Copies of this chain bind each other. A is one copy, B any other.
Amino acid sequence: MSNKGITKRSEDYSQWYIDIVLKAELADYSPVKGCMVIRPNGYGIWENIQKHLDRMFKETGHVNAYFPMLIPESFLKKEAEHVEGFAPECAVVTHGGGKPLEEPLVIRPTSETIIWATYKNWISSYRDLPLLINQWANVCRWEMRTRLFLRTTEFLWQEGHTAHASFEEAEEEALRMIRVYQKFAEDYMAMPVIVGKKTESEKFAGAVHTYTIEALMQDGKALQAGTSHNLGQNFAKAFDVKFQDRDMELKYVYATSWGVSTRLVGALIMTHSDDKGLILPPKIAPLPVVIVPIWHTLEEEKQVLDFAKKITEGWDKLFYKIDDRDQYKPGFKFNDWELKGIPIRIEIGPRDVKSNSVVAVRRDTGEKINLTIDNLKEKIDLLLTEIQSNLYKTAKERLQKNTFTVDSYEEYKQRIEQGGFFRVFLDYTNPEVEKILKEETKSSIRCIPFDAPEEEGPCMITGKPCKNRVIAAQAY
């Protein structure tokens, strides 16, 4: 265990994760079983995720709206697969305003049903299509085993729900949005992902196709970071939503839905952080720069603080913070900001003031860099860009190093516990195969990757000839 009370990753990865979340004050347990409190440090990360994703959604033509959190229980039952998937996880409201309700209401586990019940009133002609709506909301799925950010009964997310005039358009939209998620994960979170399609048994309850981005955590486990579904006409049929097409015929509407959640904060932690604490990519860090002044005498204090103010003149207040707390020593502050993952720490002592320079310390590499103060902002910005790409590069190399091509089930069974993505032949047209895989290896097919090279080979469990390898792994 480190001096900050953080368990080492090599000792206990799960405990390390929890230590980071609690000690960096990202989240806290709540008095309500399975729910979490997202603390300001963690919520600031979510706000940045929201900011960038929201812009990307708007650039692709989407608008935001808000639908009720409470859904009549009967709605859930209108789509057969959907109710099977979600009913067992629901929180149920039975009383309101001091009286029992005539019909119980569930807190949304996802909003397809309430949204399609509403779209029925909004869509009548091809002129009303496409309808491209997103919602930022909280949802509730009753979970037995929870883990901060990764799996909680209540979580925050966004859910896009679009309506289209043809299957092809819906398919195009579902693919567009999984690519938006990929771009966001890679360019902002510095988290490389594998993009692909879910198998029949892993797809969303009610979907025709589900697309996914799968990331690889440091411990070798996969994490599903975002999904996008082509729902075909399933929900339009369940809620009787038809439109008059250009050919004057009445047709059922085609749908997609897609979402990412506060789970991404967990993914971020397990992609970049180390035994000293959190590491945040600069584009997502709520606070990119912290300045720690170092002094011994009152005179020096004034000197270094004045210098700190001078060099930050004109900087955006949300870009940096001067840590002038006088009850703590510099060493304590260094540790504290390291723990909290601030990308760049700037140290300023009396000697730096004299030489018109500062020491910048990179959180990702620990490297100390002397910088003269001319064009300091540009130098810092450049350093932040370097940190961002270094984090991505490191994570990408780890993903590549831990992606294995395996042909024998025996070998797979021996190696799966050590973690990684496994490129294997598995007959995913046969649900039995996935059942065996899960039971015998606690792993699953994460996706059929889009960029899989053309290959043929025998299913490692049944021997049946397969086209293309899938990605299998143990997962969060």
Contact = CB atoms under 8 A, between A and B. Distances in A.
Interface string A95-115: 111100000110100000010
A60 to B, nearest CB: 12
Q: Is the interface of A mostly helix, strand, loop or mixed?
A: mixed
A97 B63 CA distance: 33
B75 A31 contact: yes
Contacts of A138: 69, 137-138
Nearest to A63: B40
A37 B89 contact: no
A35 interface: yes
Given A95-B92, A318-B58, A154 B28 contact: no
Contacts of A140: 69-70
A70 B37 contact: no
A5 to B, nearest CB: 16
A114 B69 contact: no
A433 interface: no
B91 A92 contact: no
By Cβ-Cβ distance, the 5 closest A-B pairs, closest first, are: A97-B142, A35-B68, A40-B63, A92-B95, A38-B66
B64 A40 contact: yes
B127 A327 contact: yes
B43 A65 contact: yes
Q: What class of interface size applies to chain A in its complex with B?
A: 35 or more
B107 A97 contact: no
12 contacts: A28-B121, A30-B68, A31-B118, A32-B68, A38-B65, A38-B67, A40-B65, A43-B63, A44-B63, A69-B138, A91-B96, A107-B107
Nearest to A92: B95
Interface of A: 28, 30-32, 35-40, 43-44, 46-47, 58, 63-72, 75, 87-98, 104-105, 107, 114, 117-118, 121-122, 127, 133, 137-138, 140, 142-144, 153-154, 156, 318, 327
B96 A92 contact: yes
A327 B127 CA distance: 10
Contacts of A31: 72, 75, 114, 117-118
Given A31-B114, A72-B31, A114-B31, A37 B67 contact: yes
A70, A90, A118, A318, most chain B CB atoms within 10 A? A70
Contacts of A30: 67-68, 114, 118
Given A65-B38, A68-B35, A97 B93 contact: no
A107 to B, nearest CB: 7
Contacts of A68: 30, 32, 35-37, 154
A38 to B, nearest CB: 4
A318 to B, nearest CB: 7
A97 to B, nearest CB: 3
A86 to B, nearest CB: 11
Contact of A96 (B36, B44, B46, B142): B142
A97 B43 CA distance: 27
A145 B407 CA distance: 66
A133, A142, A327, most chain B CB atoms within 10 A? A142
A460 B162 CA distance: 59
A66 B37 contact: yes
A133 to B, nearest CB: 7
Nearest to A325: B127
Contacts of A114: 30-32
Given A91-B95, A97-B142, A97-B144, A118 B28 contact: yes
Contacts of A64: 40, 43-44, 47
A132 to B, nearest CB: 9
